[in-house]
Structure 1
Amino acid sequence: MQNINRKIVVTGDISINHLLWRTPQKSINGLSWQNYSHAHSITLQGGALLLSKFVIMSTEATVLTPKMQEIDSLNKEILHSMMELELFPVDANTNSKKTYRVNQFLGFSGPSHNKPLLLSIDIDDTDADLVIIDDENNGFNSEEEYWPAAIKSQKSPVIIYKTNTGKCSSPLLMYLLEKHLQNTIIIINGDDLRSKGVNISKGLSWERTALDFVWQISNNPSLTMLSKCCYLIITFGLEGAIYYQNTGELARSRLFFLTNRFEGEFVNEYKGKMYGLTSCFVAGLARAVVSEIDQPNILNSLDDGIREGMVAAQKYFSLGFGENVDETQFPNPAIFQEGKKDFIYKEHIQDVLIRNSDNPNCQACWYIIKDKSTTKLSDIAYDIVKYGEKRALRFIPIAQFGNLKAVDRTEIEGYRSIKNLMAEYISTLKVNRPLCIAVFGTPGSGKSFGVTEVAASISPGQIEKINLNLSQFDSVTDLIAAFHRVRDLSLEGKLPLVFFDEFDSYFEGKLGWLKYFLAPMQDGVFREGDSIHPIGKAIFVFAGGTSSTFKQFCGEDITEDNEYKKFLKDFQNSKGPDFVSRLRGYVNILGPNQTDEHWDQLFIIRRAMLLRSLLERKTPHLIGDKGEAQIDNGVIRALLKVARYKHEARSMEAIMEMSTLNNAKRWEQSHLPSKEQLKLHVDEEEFLRHLMQDTFYSEKIDKISEDLHNNLKELNPKESQLSLSCFRLWEDLDEDNKNEIRDKAQHIPYALHKIDYDVISVKEKPEVIEFSERELYILAKYEQKRWSLDMKEKGWTYGSAIDEQNKIHPSLVSWDKLPEGTKNIMINEIRSWPKILADSYFKIEKLKYLCYCEVHGYNKGARTLNDM
């Protein structure tokens, strides 16, 4: 790193941190004091002084900063903080070595006159290349005499301004935005924004956090000042950050994130706390900025700097203060050094532009998986089954709860919501009533499995599950007996996870069970005769049997007024509103079927993940050493693309169990159950059409190829230089020419994927569709590129006229350089594809897992970042 000659000024609020920790007694025969636990303490510099140490390590530049040599570290006019340390594992592996981190923040010891002591920069320089300010709102931002000379001069240094407040009342912030707007990078922690009333969700999904921020920065008056910033970075835990850029007409926001973790998970897994995390992030950012300081667009380095900062902050937290605080260098130089055994690299951090549309429909269907992938969802699904989630989804956020994995944003948000509720409830010592959660989904969607895995991921070993199906209960006596089981388990020190399956079933009328749950849910007791019994600590999960969503249970999907009024009256008579008011959360479980034609885009991904999971659990012998599933492509296609499974996940599992796979080395089509057995779980005719599509298409490839050739023969005028072979009859062509046309026919389904169409084999001749001019243009351009590459691989080169003997062709140029006549011939040839395919009983239809906004053009008017 060649930054030795760079000058960086680091200043701001300062503090002295007093760290306290204990170690066990070392002697039982020594002096009296040696028989007690030993108390230790160390004093370290904090605030801007710690930040300067980070910057020195990260940049190796000349750093100008306030000095403490002549100041007594016990000076009462300096801000002092007290922290208690404890040993925690270095990483999530409980068997790993340990390091000290902060267990408890004990508080501050402030100066008598309220304003802490500030220090001037030891050797200030107006020509500093980079200025870094640590504003903790402890006085520095209002004391202009302590501000660095570089920002008060006529120079324009790059400024990194770390703050914990975005209020316009800060004189320093106002000054920077007035004098140095174009060259100031502002950094603030997401939790600091939340503490000031900015409503940004935490840890539900990266999409939700990102969209919440975009809305808040555009609409929240308390963020008016920050919204004017040209460069604003908000850190979200150690796992993510948002880079907001407002340098033109349209503000842009980019999300940086780890795919395998969500906000807050890193600290929760590793345990303990560390101060200075944002300062460490700033130092990593400065490392990238200072290395590009001479470049005209230096701020283009921020993307790389954000990655540097995230990696540094995670390593800083993991390393902590070391196993021996007195002997370990702090900060640890390894924070900014890349090692062969590092658990995180910059390449692990992904980024994506955040959708910037005000249309709520657009926002509801934004999925990172779509924006991060250049392939179609069907191709991603295929790769999941074939190669596993880790390989197929390495750039996509995946949430894991025990053995449950979720990639669908809706599911992730639902599961994480109830996980947060459960974690808070479990950690609360004094509770007098159960935590009540509802879960909805179609039969076979995996309601019980999903919630059980979420609960087990929080507190493994403590939770014990009880399954109760209310549709099998004959009387209230059965329910009382069930409550006794729950109470007994709670008294044993276990945490009962009670599934009341089909709680919405008929009993003494519609929703008749609800009234018997009101007292247990509200007061934590149940009545038996004249006796009242406390239930104890428990988690009640009410799984719907007749309602597949919470909205359906509450009647919110009823559109006809009279029908809704009747429902509401019955719902109130059944104590439905009282029951709902006692719930603390709910989740809709999405199974392998598409729940909504418009909005449910990722059902094919859910199917793929379920199928891969079934393969790994039930037929591990079909997974190769390198993780590749040995399964026929037709079987994958049929299992992924069949319209509906009659019994959801149970049907997928049943098809696998009915297949003869015990001694199979590969899941071939011949291993599938008979047509009659398939009928129990899917539309067997449709399933078999998907299964045999390659075969059907191959059987008709000669007819399709001949029709393509005859059509081109009609389109091609004598003076065209497109092809000499098109003037001959099909039967007069040699095999090389026929194979070239067959190859074109084979590629038609793949070409149609480029415009979101699929080719489906049907029984009756389908209606012929028409491509739009835009679709024709995309297909023609793609076909030209495919054909050119194929010809070049066969040895053909460019020339002014066709010469088949010497393999010369004038169309071996880019699309833009083709003559207009040749372009029109290619476009008209593609215009005939729907009729040619229809004549062979193949239907062209839109892919069903498109975004509703894309299908209906909502996105066309919205200026999204993805269009830029």
Structure 2
Amino acid sequence: MKIVVSGDICINSLQWITEPQSSTGLNWQNHINMHSKLVSGESLLLSDLVSLATGATILSPKIANIESNLSKEFIRSTAELDLFPISNKKKEKVYRVKRFLGFTGPASGQPKLLPIDNDDINADIVIIDDENNGFNSNSDFWPLSIKSTDTSPLVLYKMNNPIGSNELWKQLEQYHIEKTIVIINGDDLRSKGVNISRSISWERTAQDFVWQINNNPNLSFLAKCHHLIVPFGLEGAIYYTNAKAPQSTLYFLPYEFEGGSFKDTDGKMYGLTSCFVAGLAHCIAMEQSYEEDLCHLIGEGIREGIVSAHKYFLNGFSKDLEVYEFPSPSIFIKEDKDTVFTELVQDAIIPNLCNFDAYSHWCILKDKSSANLAEIAYDIVKNGVESSLKFIPIAQFGNLQTVDRTEIESYRSIKNLMVEYISSKNVVRPLSIAVFGTPGSGKSFGVTEVAASISPGLIEKLNFNLSQFRNPLDLINAFHKVRDLSLEGKIPLIFFDEFDSAFEGKLGWLKYFLAPMQDGVFREGDSIHPIGKAIFVFAGGTNSTFGEFCGEHIQDETAKNKFLLEFKGAKGPDFISRLRGYVDILGPNQTDAEWDQLFIIRRAMLLRSLLERKVPHLINDNSEAQIDNGVLRALLKIPRYKHESRSMEAILEMSMLTNAKKWEQSDLPSKEQLKLHVDEEQFLRHLMQDAFFSEKIETLATALHEKYRALSKSDLSMDKDFLMPWQELSEDLKRSNRDMAKNIPNALIKINYDVISVKEIPSFMEFSEEELDALAENEHTRWYRHRKKDGWTYGEIKDHKKKTDPGLVSWEKLPQVKKDKVRKMVKIWPEILAQSNFKLERLKYSSCENPGIY
């Protein structure tokens, strides 16, 4: 395959310092040594990377010996290098960029370009590195195959400047747009004013991109691309295609967010996007017939590009620049020691959402998981978070883990604020944030873990409960403690619990915080004291959300006006103006019946964490939690915990688990003790669900048969065996009905329904056509496997002695008449369940039913 690589030319000058070589040699050897080296940059580096990635001979510009043939007409980039740890887990060090020192350009202002050695008009793939340094306007240096109107190469166009007015783009748009893949870094888009969030959540970044590509006039030329790839750091990328219908796909590393793999203290590297493009090129070049399924190849190439760029950063410029080769061939070789691999990179289709609520609640977890949320929750507790949630975004801050998009965005916003604040010099005022949540939801724990994940040795926590303060002097004493910590070189993390409690009237404490928040000082008599660098965290006690604190929930106009008048009098608006962020902690209780479906996942993660921390002996060597299914169901499915996470923790601590090998139902606290934390009747019904259902298997099986028999009396095609009364049925058919009854809960959970035991006979619902189809197929598959296990085989005639049955075929091959019979059977389930005091409860809101999606 003929691959041409060309574009702007840059020579990278690397400089680094080493310690004195000896103390006894020549004078210069006794001093710090300064080293420098010239290496390829821009299209020259891209050419080297593509050559290593593909193993092909690359047709590209060449400089035989950069050190001896350096021309002042070339652009030169200078960077200072230093040794940095390869990763957090490895102390071994490699050279990376400590700081970029800038560019040196030619005196003429026009950088020198180079022709392509042995250029071929029939090139299969053309890769262009357009850094907006002259190449895109100088057609003399363009590859022959893209200047020609008769050739049709695949073009990988790495673009730095996202504007559609340059000559090169016009050429590609007019003659090669269908086979052009544009690659532009997310930061390059942002630098042109394209508003795409960074490091908040993958959902938010993805939806911001979709909105921008659909609505931003500055990106209208990119919206015409048949293939557009936007890498976001080393951790993700978005692939947009409109070859048929516009569609965007997000590719991401589940346990990382944009920019999260490495810190600023790990150094920097240039050429990351070039390495990404080389990985992409490798995947495409390996396929001889890439045109047939180009979209799939691009997707696989993005995975490879993410992995390659990650390894490129880890390797840096090598351990010893005088000896080791750069770039290293190992970047594109799969090794057992790799920490990132293509199978780890996940993908998710980004929906087009027109409804704001749907937009803000889209969650990759729901889209990526074929299992029901309840099944995932059970698996999290039983097998751990990492085992159960391998394919969706997970945010971790110290000991805090969350998959809930709302929490991820809130916590990451707070973390970004803290990181920026801590790294800033000469700040004169504290960073002020607010945290709201119901008592026991974990307000203090969450923010503390976020702060500890940033700088555990530097940040020190202080806690003050304002409801216990008698007068403003108590607050002044608190500020003195904060100031003392600050003078010790620490950054105090101060929690002002119940800051919204009454004092000298409603919200009376707010006015005392205005000066410290704004000016970073507090007054004591005639003296004014500076507080120093500090983080103020205002934890709400009487308001569970920021909206409630501001009165947004008040619907009545008169009541709202009264509230706002009092709020203004208490300096509420002035207080809010000094805040730099806030978090609404969700906790284990459901906050909204329509949109908050992930509460069961939050509960599961909290419960797993409690088991690991409080009773680790219940986790076996395979990381499996030893807990009874009834206990687990009750803990996850109870509608409400009276004291949020404190109640979950209390139930565990009140259980007799010290010497237990498994958390059995008999280990739970008494009914009276449970009443302190949950509705004990509901808890016990969930607890005994299996027992309740098991007791009624015979009743359900009998009722299923009799109802089906009554509905099928007039069906002449029915097997007479099925039309007999229950007492006269063969034991084989009775067992078949019992098996169906036992399987009903498992079947229903796959279409997002749970079976709940109730006191009164409930009204029953009817399944939709889609639900009936899914249940019928599932039931036939269950029956098919059960029959096969019992030794039955396919036969044109049903024969009990030979165990042959014409129905033993896959669902797809089953005649429509037989499919209808299975549908008729599952259709009666809700009625039969209701007669036995079981109702169906919807488990989650399905995204396909959302009217905000089109």
State TM-score, norm by structure 2.
0.98
Residue 262 (str. 1) matches residue 257 (str. 2): yes
Structure 1 residues 715 and 802, CA gap change in structure 2 (3 angstroms)? farther
Distance 2:770 2:56 in 1: 54
Matches within 5 A, 1:105-504: 105-153=100-148, 154-248=150-244, 250-268=245-263, 271-299=266-294, 300-504=296-500
The more displaced of 325-334 and 296-305 is: 296-305
Distance 1:755 1:379 in 2: 12
Letter of the 1:403 counterpart: N
SS at match of 1:510: coil
Distance 1:570 1:812 in 2: 74
Distance 1:29 1:296 in 2: 66
Distance 1:240 1:824 in 2: 46
Structure 1 residues 369 and 30, CA gap change in structure 2 (3 angstroms)? same
Letter of the 1:474 counterpart: R
* Structure 2 contact 147–171 (Cα < 8 Å) conserved: no
CA-to-aligned-CA distance 1:789-843 (integer Å, 9 cap, x gap)? 2222222223333222211222223445444443333333322212211111111
* Structure 1 contact 241–257 (Cα < 8 Å) conserved: yes
Distance 1:815 1:138 in 2: 61
Letter of the 2:17 counterpart: R
Structure 1 residues 375 and 720, CA gap change in structure 2 (3 angstroms)? farther
Distance 1:531 1:96 in 2: 50
* Structure 2 contact 162–188 (Cα < 8 Å) conserved: no
Match of 2:771 among 765, 775, 787: 775
What's the counterpart of residue 866 of structure 1?
none
* Structure 1 contact 722–811 (Cα < 8 Å) conserved: no
The more displaced of 374-383 and 837-846 is: 837-846
Residue 518 (str. 1) matches residue 537 (str. 2): no
What's the counterpart of residue 27 of structure 2?
32
Distance 1:29 1:596 in 2: 75
SS at match of 1:43: strand
The more displaced of 379-388 and 818-827 is: 818-827
Distance 1:262 1:443 in 2: 30
Matches within 5 A, 1:787-802: 787-802=783-798
Distance 2:813 2:399 in 1: 54
Residue 858 (str. 1) matches residue 854 (str. 2): no
Letter of the 1:709 counterpart: H
Residue 754 (str. 1) matches residue 750 (str. 2): yes
What's the counterpart of residue 658 of structure 1?
654
* Structure 1 contact 634–693 (Cα < 8 Å) conserved: yes
Letter of the 1:495 counterpart: I
Match of 1:638 among 626, 634, 639: 634
The more displaced of 671-680 and 166-175 is: 166-175
What's the counterpart of residue 9 of structure 1?
4
Letter of the 2:610 counterpart: L
SS at match of 2:263: helix
Distance 2:822 2:287 in 1: 48
Distance 1:719 1:24 in 2: 94
The more displaced of 102-111 and 334-343 is: 334-343
* Structure 1 contact 129–293 (Cα < 8 Å) conserved: no
Unaligned runs of 5+ in 1: 1-5, 864-868
CA-to-aligned-CA distance 1:429-454 (integer Å, 9 cap, x gap)? 21111000101111000000000000
Match of 2:701 among 701, 705, 713: 705
Letter of the 1:186 counterpart: V
- The Cα shift of 1:313 comes to 0.5
- The Cα shift of 1:731 comes to 2.1
Residue 49 (str. 1) matches residue 44 (str. 2): yes
Letter of the 1:450 counterpart: G
What's the counterpart of residue 74 of structure 1?
70
Matches within 5 A, 1:53-68: 53-68=48-63
SS at match of 2:98: strand
Letter of the 2:459 counterpart: I
* Structure 2 contact 44–61 (Cα < 8 Å) conserved: yes
User: How many percent identity over aligned positions?
Assistant: 60
The more displaced of 294-303 and 136-145 is: 294-303
- The Cα shift of 1:73 comes to 4.3
CA-to-aligned-CA distance 1:135-154 (integer Å, 9 cap, x gap)? 00000000011000011221
Matches within 5 A, 1:660-739: 660-717=656-713, 720=716, 723-739=719-735
Letter of the 1:130 counterpart: I
Structure 1 residues 723 and 373, CA gap change in structure 2 (3 angstroms)? farther
SS at match of 1:265: coil
Residue 99 (str. 1) matches residue 94 (str. 2): yes
Letter of the 1:128 counterpart: A
* Structure 1 contact 88–101 (Cα < 8 Å) conserved: yes
Distance 1:295 1:459 in 2: 48
CA-to-aligned-CA distance 1:391-443 (integer Å, 9 cap, x gap)? 00011111110111111011011000000000011111211110001011110
Structure 1 residues 720 and 38, CA gap change in structure 2 (3 angstroms)? farther
Letter of the 2:422 counterpart: I
Match of 1:18 among 13, 17, 21: 13
Letter of the 2:429 counterpart: R
CA-to-aligned-CA distance 1:46-86 (integer Å, 9 cap, x gap)? 11001000011010111001111387543211000110001
* Structure 1 contact 181–229 (Cα < 8 Å) conserved: yes
* Structure 1 contact 388–612 (Cα < 8 Å) conserved: yes
Distance 1:271 1:451 in 2: 25
* Structure 2 contact 79–100 (Cα < 8 Å) conserved: yes
Structure 1 residues 247 and 455, CA gap change in structure 2 (3 angstroms)? same
Distance 2:393 2:45 in 1: 33
What's the counterpart of residue 506 of structure 1?
502
* Structure 1 contact 92–270 (Cα < 8 Å) conserved: no
Distance 2:257 2:291 in 1: 35
* Structure 1 contact 77–112 (Cα < 8 Å) conserved: yes
Distance 1:772 1:18 in 2: 67
* Structure 1 contact 90–270 (Cα < 8 Å) conserved: no
SS at match of 1:858: coil
Unaligned runs of 5+ in 2: none
- The Cα shift of 1:722 comes to 5.1
* Structure 2 contact 494–537 (Cα < 8 Å) conserved: yes
Letter of the 1:245 counterpart: T
State TM-score, norm by structure 1.
0.96
The more displaced of 266-275 and 37-46 is: 266-275
SS at match of 2:305: helix
Distance 1:519 1:76 in 2: 57
Structure 1 residues 70 and 25, CA gap change in structure 2 (3 angstroms)? closer
Letter of the 2:137 counterpart: S
